[in-house]
Amino acid sequence: MRDGALRLVLGDQLTPGVAALRDIDPVRDVVLLAEVDGEATYVRHHKKKIAFIFAAMRAFADELRAAGLNVRQVRITDPANTHSIAGEVARALAEEGLSRVVTTRCGEWRLDQEMRGWTAALDAPVEIREDDRFICSLERFAAWADGRKQLRMEWFYREMRRATGLLMDGDQPAGGQWNYDAENRKRLPAGVRPPARLFIAPDETTRAAMADVAARYPHHFGDLEPFGYAVRRADAQAIARTFIADILPGFGDWQDAIVHGEPWMWHSVLSMYLNVGLLEPLALCRAAEAAWREGRAPLNAVEGFIRQIIGWREYMRGLYWLKMPDYAALNALGADGRLPDFYWTADTPMACIADAVRQTREHAYAHHIQRLMVTGNFALIAGIDPAEVNDWYLSVYADAFEWVELPNTHGMALFADGGIMASKPYAASGAYIDRMSDQCGACTYDVKLKAGPKACPFNHLYWDFMARNEARLSGNPRLANPLATLRRMSPERRAEIAAAADRFLRSIGVRTG
């Protein structure tokens, strides 16, 4: 026995100051980083996501070794690999002669539950430390939520602004307003194009991880090439700096816009680095605030960006741990349709969906409005089973971990939680997509048509969704207008909508039987 601790660090805990590494003894303790099939296949993650995580784990092992720590790095190709985190912890304890385990609370309920049984299963003390890389502790979130009927993000966000002092002048919001979202919904004017971005050419470490993934997970969704994401902290920080200098100034204005051939727009594309621990949320927000205070970016852009991180990101995590495990099983609208194949193949004449899926396949990324108002909105109004939709979102995005994916999908996109998060379902017809994008001009369907084979499917699915859920949604004041319109429709028109939606949903395999 070397009387030291095994310091387990998971693939999304790649931060030198993560709780499990605090007070580490560089002589007696050993850090474990284990690449295992169990984590790579509990959903069929996108190939680029797995390569990104494996390469970032390998780069982090180099970083820790350079800092003088003992690192036990288990590669996915290691013949002795047991392919589960628990198996690798047990093997490391035995082979390294260690007596206890220290780790940081993980980001998913399934693994957290498993870890809570490890002390008994491994016959060794397992210390699980809170993950304090977040601004709001889970206790603080629970206290904020306590006794509230509705958990609106905006109120939580204001608390986070006060707690961090970000964009505050004394106890008042900078510029006099908390939220500048009303300025952030512009359509992209003709001729305006997003700025160029910094991509990182894959180094040897990344190339090796890509080759391992190509050999081991050939049937997983997604392309490995081209690979331009950072896997090292310094590269992620360089990308964040160029975002703040060149892209952040336009972040707010066209935040909701979708343009063919422009996957990134003015978005930061930093979520994957934040979520695996290569970037720190508070430091990033302080750098964004400095850009505004020094006149390098407008307030609507900086406030919008900071709100996404200290507001939405923190709120999603708080809600996830507050409501799990029941939250995952909620299906308030009783949706039970199958996920159509085109979520994987992009083989659909609906130009907006084909484009979002193609980009997702290529980059393991799509921006928020594509996730919410294209693939998410379609799944909502088509009535697809939330469990299938969640598996898809958890698989296909490089930034997807259940603590953030589930509440976004289940609560924000699908209204499966019946309104714990959102005050109404984000259901929209083709008109919304037409207003915010250039997709409809290139589509086989006609967004202006409401009936007939050429009519945009979002149009009849939207009204079919309202009709199917009329009773469930009738008490919602924010839906008073569309429900009144629905009630004014003739029985013939309602029957026509139901028949068109049914025909279409059967043709794509959402409804069977």
Residue numbers at the binding site for ligand FAD (CB under 6 A):
267-271, 274-275, 305, 308-309, 312-313, 316, 367-368, 371-372, 376, 393, 397, 399-400, 404-405, 408-409, 412-413
Residue 122: CB minimum distance to ligand FAD, A: 30
101 or 428: CB nearest ligand SF4? 428
Residue 123: CB minimum distance to ligand FAD, A: 36
Give all strands (DSSP E) within 82-184, no chain letters.
100-104, 126-129, 168-169, 172-173
Tell me the sheet residues that pair with 128.
103
One-letter amino acid identity for 367?
H
Residues in the chain: 513
* Residues whose CB falls within 8 Å of the CB of residue 449, separated by 6 or more in sequence, listed in order: 455, 456, 459
Site string for ligand SF4, 441-480 (x = CB under 6 A): --x-x-x--------xxx----------------------
Helix, strand or coil, per DSSP, at residue 200: coil
* Residues whose CB falls within 8 Å of the CB of residue 88, separated by 6 or more in sequence, listed in order: 32, 34, 36, 74, 81, 82
Should residue 285 be labelled a site residue for ligand DLZ when binding is judged by CB under 6 A? no
Out of 14, 36, 466, 497, which residue is the one contacting ligand DLZ (CB under 6 A)? Answer: 36
* Binding residues for ligand DLZ restricted to 11-30, rule: CB under 6 A: 11-12
Residue 93, binding choice from ligand FAD, ligand SF4, ligand DLZ, none, Cβ under 5 to 8 Å by partner class: none
* Total residues interacting with ligand DLZ, rule: CB under 6 A: 17
Residue 466 CA to residue 380 CA, distance in Å, equals 11
Should residue 406 be labelled a site residue for ligand DLZ when binding is judged by CB under 6 A? no
CA distances to 165, 308, 363, 399, 448 from 157, in Å: 12, 9, 30, 22, 38
Residue 370 CB-density burial (10 A; 0-12 exposed, 13-18 middle, 19+ buried): buried
339 or 433: CB nearest ligand SF4? 433
* Binding residues for ligand SF4 restricted to 349-388, rule: CB under 6 A: 350-352
Residue 309: CB minimum distance to ligand FAD, A: 5
- Of 96-104, 321-329, 397-405, 429-437, the segment contacting ligand SF4 by CB under 6 A is 429-437
* Residues whose CB falls within 8 Å of the CB of residue 148, separated by 6 or more in sequence, listed in order: none
Should residue 108 be labelled a site residue for ligand DLZ when binding is judged by CB under 6 A? yes
392 or 401: CB nearest ligand DLZ? 401
For tokens 């994916």, name the residue: 405
Residue 50, binding choice from ligand DLZ, ligand FAD, ligand SF4, none, Cβ under 5 to 8 Å by partner class: ligand DLZ
* Binding residues for ligand DLZ restricted to 50-89, rule: CB under 6 A: 50, 53, 85
Helices within 14-146 (DSSP H only)? 37-41, 47-66, 85-96, 109-115, 118-122, 138-145
Residue 455 CA to residue 441 CA, distance in Å, equals 13
SS (H, E, C) 80-92: CCCCCHHHHHHHH
Tell me the sheet residues that pair with 303.
none
Chain positions contacting ligand SF4, by CB under 6 A: 350-352, 430, 433-434, 439-440, 443, 445, 447, 456-458
Chain positions contacting ligand DLZ, by CB under 6 A: 10-12, 34-36, 39-40, 45, 50, 53, 85, 106-108, 111, 401
